[in-house]
Amino acid sequence: MRQVLKTAFLLLGAAVVMVNLTAQPKQAPGLNYSYKYATNFFKAEATLAFMDDYLFPLKVKAKPADAKDVYISLFDLERIYAPDFKVIKDGDRFSVEHTGKTVKATVDENGIDVAGTAATLTAAPRIIDDEICVPVAAFMSAAFGKDTALNDKFVTIGYTQGKLEQVPPRRTRLLEGKLRGKKFGFIYDTYWFEEGKRTMSYRMYIPTTYDPKVPNKMILLVHGNTVNQDYWFTDTYEPIYNIKPIEDYAEKHGYILVAPNAYIVAGNYGDTDNIPYMTEPTRTALNDAEKGLRILSGKGFMMGFDEVLKKYNIDRKKIFLMGNSMGGKGTLFLGNKFHETFKALVVTGMMPNLTIMNGNPYPNIVNKPLFFVEGTEDEYGFDIAQKNSAILATYLKNYKTFWSAGGLHTTAWARSLEQIFDFLNKQK
């Protein structure tokens, strides 16, 4: 699936202005993760930090290092920057490998060795709660060339090398609200995915009617290829297409929205059978390494779902699954694999080559209510989607379709939310 609205052309007077709506920071070496963190925020005396807008629970509370810096433990930094941050300890001495550099330092000493070159920190590393902690801005700047700043008492550090973007006061005020324990609206959270050695993130919308004492309806959102969990909530649809965002419908109808991250690009949520036939039509199978990464991607995604079930009161009989493009294929795969978990499925913008599959590839959802949405202007071919829909209809007994007039591959679902929520509300 292509990036959502990769460039918007806005007419301002007589001038056309191109606006990049999906810019993300450069990918760190290694796997092509579907979400790339850009900025970290730390605040003195806080037990939480932020990876972009996503809450990260600190093992060691952030302590003041000086007026412009805070102490953060190497344990926490190793998880924040994973997998490209390796710590080796030898008593009070330690080394850190990150971005191809090795830095050596000693507790209670300001001097550090940066790949053979001496540098000095404004505050020395120290032990806090049995963990080695470093003055995070000074250490990441001197050791690895990260750009740092102080924004409304938040120590701000770029995730990769390069100039930090200016942080508007509105953003730090929102971060303050999250530190106070924001309960409704957009919720951003993280969890450690041990098997994938990465801190994963998920985004939610909690309606203001949510009562933790009462089980609540939930929609698990499965995003497409080359995008991430923020795709579902992007505010670019509304001003350009005058489309009411999905969170408005969730608020009106009382649904919790949950959008985990897919771990890597093209992870297919664990489905090892679907080949990207439109871009690689001659391939018939994945190799073992590709299969392993897809399986890992599915595990990472479902771990985010499990985290939500632990934290919120969810009505286990009213959990719905919805996905677009690769996420549409993922919805079929996950819906079939965890068929007892989901009450109904919504599949949009889906282009799997069902004609090459033998028999019914989704036997466990034959009787499951399924709503298929496709746009007439899908650049991958509305005609192809109709053919695949007809195949699905031959073996699904509770199958409905909706053709979105003028809908694109990335926007048909957003233009069809009235119909989608009407379908969901009818599932008693």
Q: Write the CB contacts of 177 (distance below 8 Å, at least 6 apart in sequence).
A: none
How much of the chain exceeds pLDDT 70, in percent?
Answer: 87
- What is the pLDDT confidence band of residue 7, given thresholds at 50, 70 and 90? very low
Q: CATH number for the domain including 210?
A: 3.40.50.1820
The answer to whether residues 220 and 294 belong to one domain is yes
**Residue 248: predicted pLDDT:** 95
Q: Where on the phi/psi map is residue 290: left (φ > 0), alpha (ψ -120 to 50), or beta?
A: alpha
- Asked if the model's pLDDT at residue 283 lies above 90, the reply is no
The answer to whether residues 211 and 345 belong to one domain is yes
For 356-396, the pLDDT digits (tens) are 566 678 899 999 999 999 999 999 999 989 988 988 898 89
The answer to whether residues 305 and 416 belong to one domain is yes
C-alpha span between 194 and 348 (Å, rounded): 31
Q: Write the CB contacts of 55 (distance below 8 Å, at least 6 apart in sequence).
A: 48, 49, 178, 188, 189, 190
**Residue 165: predicted pLDDT:** 79
**Residue 238: predicted pLDDT:** 57
The answer to whether residues 148 and 271 belong to one domain is no
The answer to whether residues 261 and 373 belong to one domain is yes
Residue type, 77: L
**Residue 414: predicted pLDDT:** 93
Q: CATH number for the domain including 150?
A: 3.30.457.10
Residue 34 in any domain: the answer is: no
The answer to whether residues 51 and 127 belong to one domain is yes
The answer to whether residues 299 and 396 belong to one domain is yes
How much of the chain exceeds pLDDT 90, in percent?
Answer: 75
Kind of pairing, strands 86-90 and 131-135? unpaired
Q: What mean pLDDT is reported for the chain?
A: 88
**Residue 297: predicted pLDDT:** 95
For 298-316, the pLDDT digits (tens) are 999 999 999 999 999 999 9
**Residue 353: predicted pLDDT:** 64
The answer to whether residues 236 and 284 belong to one domain is yes
* Dihedral Cα 337, 339, 341, 343, nearest 10 deg: 140
- Which residue among 160, 175, 206 closes a domain? 160
Residue 33 in any domain: the answer is: no
Residue 25 in any domain: the answer is: no
The answer to whether residues 198 and 281 belong to one domain is yes
For 16-64, the pLDDT digits (tens) are 333 333 333 343 446 899 999 999 999 999 999 999 999 999 999 999 9
C-alpha span between 244 and 417 (Å, rounded): 8
For 89-126, the pLDDT digits (tens) are 999 999 999 999 999 999 999 999 999 999 999 999 99
The answer to pTM > 0.85 is yes
**Residue 26: predicted pLDDT:** 40
C-alpha span between 177 and 272 (Å, rounded): 41
- Asked if the model's pLDDT at residue 202 lies above 50, the reply is yes
The answer to whether residues 128 and 222 belong to one domain is no
**Residue 235: predicted pLDDT:** 59
Q: Write the CB contacts of 354 (distance below 8 Å, at least 6 apart in sequence).
A: 361, 388, 391, 392
Structure tokens at 238: 């509304």
Residue 410 in any domain: the answer is: yes
For 45-54, the pLDDT digits (tens) are 999 999 999 9
What is the number of structural domains in the chain?
2
Residue 6 in any domain: the answer is: no
Contact 133, 107 (CB under 8 A): no
- 3-state SS assignment for residue 219: strand
Residue 36 in any domain: the answer is: no
The answer to whether residues 288 and 144 belong to one domain is no
The answer to whether residues 202 and 70 belong to one domain is no
Residue 23 in any domain: the answer is: no
C-alpha span between 334 and 303 (Å, rounded): 13
Domain extent for 125 = 41-160
Residue 24 in any domain: the answer is: no
For the chain, how big is the Rg over CA atoms in Å? 23
